[in-house]
Structure 1
């Protein structure tokens, strides 16, 4: 499938660009208004964080729910696409503001699994991890993957097959924000040091 054939998907992603930007800007303004000057003792600054975070949350959920519904569709499409189409999908998502909600979406997938949601949330969560492609922060990316993996285990699912399927569809090339390509990171997740120290103890 070509980029042109994914046009309707891109149009829907584009329709959320301004709402997401406006929502994030409103949250940042609310946070800054309560946090105040960034100078001062660390303890003072840390003490302001809860109030500032609450102010940002008070702005409301914005377009999150609608974007999550679109990401549901995107992740389902991604999971049943070949590697070349998945590369196009990743590119489309990262061209638009929806990519900023991938981290929250992955967390939501883990929560859905933990609360008894359908097994599709395991694949959606791992697909979103693949789409995210370690673009923002590798450490946060790894923690998010771990959360989805553990949520799958708690839901009495075996995450390994989904990991393998999505790894095959993931970016095989390393970029500057990632220590290893996402495909390699997913393929080797269960053999990683992080898995051994953080995930494995929960499986015993």
Structure 2
């Protein structure tokens, strides 16, 4: 059967179906998504120059569940909250200065990573196909690491950016991607049972 590979983009591939919901639902989803993203920022392992958090996990999950448009809007709204002074960034940090410091590249990569994840999810890279979901989640994580390290290079040089801004996070990226793929599988399974 090829139904799962030939379904039109977005058809039964977005587990929450937010694209078909009224505006009030979408606004509620954005608010809930920013709360999830903020909560993921508080789960932190301090490291220098960039801490390990569950942010990339939450960013990819929001992208997968919300789709590329609403996911990008949600992640951008969360970053605006942080820049505006709300304590929603890593470890409860806040303020616009984080968008020019060592973490700036990672922060700016988040909406891009979420939108890439959402775009892939809308094309079937979800929990219905857990291997593809893992690859999509890992891609989102690697986008964050790549853009983050590129910015970090301007501050500490290429070698130090890779040593301090990429290498310590690779295993975490794989583990968070596997966890994300399993969460998507569980959500898709629940939604299928509810719908069926």
TM-score (norm 2): 0.34
Query: Which of these two proteins has the greater Rg computed from alpha carbons?
Result: 1
Higher relative contact order (CA 8 A, sep 6+): 2
